[in-house]
Structure 1
């Protein structure tokens, strides 16, 4: 059964919201280099956690934009607009080189939506809540590392979520999406295994997909090592990571490997049609637009024919027998139409789905709960499905 919700409620911006920000890109400086389990508390500059004590003396201020609404988003909500304004400022203003005109190496160094959300927090004196999970790094396959987030509270064995970050299979890293992962771990009480899959153009399709499945198989085989429960494992991801989460479920089904108990799929890349209604309506949106999506496909796919693979074109894949899912989309996002189509097609295939589209926000809003009210709502919606499936 498909449950559809249209996200319209407006909440006051949370000050101590869990999960700060997630982004389409970040400086590519992942520090998970250990080949065995090692303590890992490093967070990249793009997702650094500011000193709460340093900000506590100044009261938080309402998050408000300083400019008129952009023409591409006449209904954008003020907190989201403030983040986009910060992204524009960090990127060099209206004359800055678009990411779709950069090389992958340049794009990996460009300011991200994570950087923008952090800058917004600093500007409006929003403190960061303390970390509630310990982290360790593991190498799980040649060239593939994971960061394991273990709750400081609760009692093992914990439920487990295998999480795949976004970035179009080309940019971003574990640090970029650290806040989303911490939010999921905190709010579900789960161990989260965040996967650093290899990316294009250095590693073309289907490398990221195969790496993601290898990490899932490693998790199945090592749940006891990470204090997890092998009978309570879900997959989750944002953007390209949402694609990977669903693809991993399909690969598990086809290879007769134990299926995840649940899927959290947040504004996924779910098709290869750049002329859907949301693509046509979002040619100028930030941080993701039609040109940037074409750029991602260019650098990850070997040839255009790869776009027809069921691992990429989820909306036309065989979806029967997959786990129940929660799917989240955003209004100002070229991927909105295919995210909704994926929800519809999962339902047609007999898969229970909870779907919600959030108005007034853009791609990458999910991890920005400290700034964007809809992010806090979306996290609560996602956690509801996960906790129900993993109890």
Structure 2
């Protein structure tokens, strides 16, 4: 069985792999082929996911009826079983309850242009005297699907393990609100959190950002916008399998083109719903590794999964951040897939990755 790989300096073979990258393709790909994994549970991802706990979740997704995103309408994709649903079903099969850390929840809203968006405050109950550090967290879902409920396990884990208040942010989704609506909302939420942190027991001087997948892209962009607009910078960035570029011909996109729960075709489907116009694909917000200025950003922790089209995105961003003088640690997790990070209730690798992330966050908080 493979072990999780923890490194702060990327290994030579990963660095070398960046040389294989094609020029950014502006998400203009051939028509994606149907993902065969929904019909063949013993193929592809199942064979490579050599962790028994990971395979259980993938099989359960299929049993629940989840289909490849690229084969669904937006409404179908938003309502079909998610990886979080699969985790709950695995626990039920094992006669176990969904773990509930000692964390208090409070639903609020923050203002955006023309309205408000939800935000959920997670406060650990056994963290000791405050004020507590704060993590502004952005969920994944390709800027199209999912919400703060879908990704609640990650928010709960970070709050409980980091002894920090987690501000889990909802933002407008495409196709109803196309790029850069989610990015604008994310920065508005960050500024709101800085302003309101003290009111819910947080320390305004110790605010970090975190995100998964599309949310990892949002978190990184929030730090960039804070730097450029001279707003207080986050003390740390936790970026879990982030979307960092528009090249869908990277080594991991090729190796994992039919992976589940995220495939190359699935990413193409998301992008087709997100972009307002073709030239948006070349925007630095979507091309962190090729077009964005990464100098002067806070320290970063990047976590990836081996069986994930976005693995190379994380590798490239780690290298680009380090080249820009940003302190960066990187952890790849072998034998697991996209979305594994929030599966700590059933996945050993998720617990290890969370501990890795929390260690870096705690160090950043302790420095302030």
Please give the range of the TM-score, normalised by the shorter of the 2 chains: 0.7 to 0.9
Q: Is the 8 A contact 1:3 1:353 kept in 2?
A: yes
Q: Is the 8 A contact 1:327 1:339 kept in 2?
A: yes
Aligned match for 1:3, one of 5, 8, 11: 8
2:193 corresponds in structure 1 to: 219
In structure 1, the gaps of 5 or more residues are 7-66
Aligned match for 1:102, one of 72, 75, 84: 72
- Matched positions, count: 326
| Off by >4 Å, runs of 4+ in structure 1 | none
Aligned match for 2:150, one of 156, 176, 193: 176
1:143 corresponds in structure 2 to: 116
Post-superposition offset of 1:307: 1.6
| 1:90 equivalent in alignment to 2:60 | no
2:299 corresponds in structure 1 to: 324
| 1:370 equivalent in alignment to 2:345 | yes
| 1:124 equivalent in alignment to 2:69 | no
2:238 corresponds in structure 1 to: 264
Distance in 2 of aligned mates of 1:385 and 1:296? 31
Post-superposition offset of 1:139: 1.4
Distance in 1 of aligned mates of 2:9 and 2:323? 14
Aligned match for 1:114, one of 84, 100, 105: 84
Q: Is the 8 A contact 2:41 2:59 kept in 1?
A: no
1:286 corresponds in structure 2 to: 260
Distance in 1 of aligned mates of 2:135 and 2:220? 13
Q: Is the 8 A contact 1:168 1:240 kept in 2?
A: yes
Distance in 2 of aligned mates of 1:301 and 1:132? 40
Distance in 1 of aligned mates of 2:280 and 2:121? 31
- For residues 308-331 of structure 1, what are the alpha-carbon distances to aligned partners after superposition, in whole Å with 9 as ceiling and x for unaligned? 111111112110000001000000
Distance in 1 of aligned mates of 2:131 and 2:303? 28
Q: Is the 8 A contact 1:197 1:212 kept in 2?
A: yes
In structure 2, the gaps of 5 or more residues are 1-6, 12-39
Superposition RMSD on alpha carbons, in Å? 1.5
Give the structure-2-normalised TM-score.
0.86
Aligned match for 2:160, one of 186, 208, 228: 186
Q: Is the 8 A contact 2:124 2:164 kept in 1?
A: yes
- For residues 17-39 of structure 1, what are the alpha-carbon distances to aligned partners after superposition, in whole Å with 9 as ceiling and x for unaligned? xxxxxxxxxxxxxxxxxxxxxxx
- For residues 85-142 of structure 1, what are the alpha-carbon distances to aligned partners after superposition, in whole Å with 9 as ceiling and x for unaligned? 00011116xxxx5321222111111110111111111112333333311111111112
